[in-house]
Amino acid sequence: MQLQDALTIPKIFIGLDIHKKSWSVSIQTDLFFHRTFSMPSVAEDLYQYVERTFPNHEVALVYEAGCCGFSAARYFLNLGWHVLVVNPSDVKTGDKERYQKTDALDSKNLSNQLKAGVLRSVYIPTEAHEQFTTLARHRTQITKKLRQSKSQIKSMLLFHGIEIPPAYDNSNWNKDFIVWLENIEFSSPCGKLALQGKIRMYQFIRLEYLEIANQMRAHCRKTCKNDYNLLRSIPGIGGYLSSVILAECGDLRRFNNEGQFSSYIGLVPGIYNSGGSEKCLGITPRSRSQLRSYLVEAAWIAIRKDAEMQQY
């Protein structure tokens, strides 16, 4: 009886082309194409339209992952809709769509492929997990700013012909080097003021750099202590990298095997095999690039510390 009811429930398929201020919406049922229209980017408005126009329908919706994140997906999931968020590279397009690209055509193409059942959703994180990921990526941005700040100070010294002592000329800046920088004298007060400003900027960024790492570790010890400690027990992986793995991947139990985990991170090769010709295209560009870089670095650290691993 339940199977019969499931087969008789009418269905609608919604393709969304999402932008900051507007959505292009294409709706079709399992029998006919309804319409394509544009609307403000308000999820509640789309829900009200569907409720008025298609009451008692089973709703499936899809849109491409992008700058608008997963807030719309979570809203519609809470309504009981079937929601897919797809990688834009996985959406099939014909040659015609490459030369005639509009929001309306994109949403209609998504709706057609959703109805055909050929789309595969990416992982939709919870709101808490997504915000933790945002914190981890903010730390990555701060790291880039810290390197930029160091480079600016060294560039200024080079420009004014000031040589850095060999003991300090490396990537690890200690307190003695900062004291040496603060004691540099210029022929004009302006040079001293400029350097002091750059030093203050560096010190502020460095404090933020250290504080965010501490916040991430504290969050993991509070919310997922067991997984955090298990990751820390792996050679080459410390507290900060453990927190980054949890921030980028969420619950690691959602991966059925190591192949799925490697594919998610991007530690798999690109392969071209056709007509007896086989080529290795290098590591795949589809990746969690920052996490992949961290794991490669962690592997080298583990090799250096483990004499047995150096044999392989």
Can you tell me whether residue 94 is helix, strand or coil? coil
> Has residue 239 got a pLDDT over 90?
yes
Q: Could you report the per-residue pLDDT of 271-293, keeping only the tens digit for each? A: 877 777 778 878 888 888 889 99
pLDDT at 1: 42
> Has residue 92 got a pLDDT over 60?
yes
> Has residue 187 got a pLDDT over 70?
yes
DSSP state for residue 42 in the 8-state scheme: -
Pairing of strands 82-86, 22-29: unpaired
> Has residue 212 got a pLDDT over 90?
yes
Other CB atoms within a 10 A radius of the CB of residue 92 amount to 11
> Has residue 132 got a pLDDT over 80?
yes
Two tokens at 4?
């019969």
Cα–Cα distances (Å) from 288 to 236, 253, 274, in that order, read 19, 18, 28
Query: Of 112 and 273, which is predicted with more confidence?
Result: 112
| 3-class SS string, 255-298 | CCCHHHHHHHHCCCEEEEEECCEEEEEEECCCCCHHHHHHHHHH
Indicate the pTM of the whole model: 0.85
**Helix, strand, coil shares, percent, the chain, to 5:** 55, 15, 30
> Has residue 6 got a pLDDT over 70?
no
> Has residue 7 got a pLDDT over 70?
no
> With bands split at pLDDT 50, 70 and 90, how would you rate the model's confidence at 268?
confident
> With bands split at pLDDT 50, 70 and 90, how would you rate the model's confidence at 215?
very high
How confident is the prediction for the chain on average, in pLDDT?
90
Among 99-103, 110-114, 275-279, which range has the highest average pLDDT?
110-114
Two tokens at 281?
């295209």
pLDDT at 4: 47
Pairing of strands 33-40, 22-29: antiparallel
Average pLDDT over residues 226-231: 94
> With bands split at pLDDT 50, 70 and 90, how would you rate the model's confidence at 269?
confident
pLDDT at 302: 86
* Alpha-helix runs per DSSP H in 117-188: 127-159, 175-182
> Has residue 312 got a pLDDT over 80?
no
Q: Which of 4-8, 144-148, 170-174, 233-237 has the lowest mean pLDDT?
A: 4-8
Contacts with 82 (C-beta within 8 Å, 6 or more apart), sequence order: 58, 59, 60, 61
Contacts with 226 (C-beta within 8 Å, 6 or more apart), sequence order: none
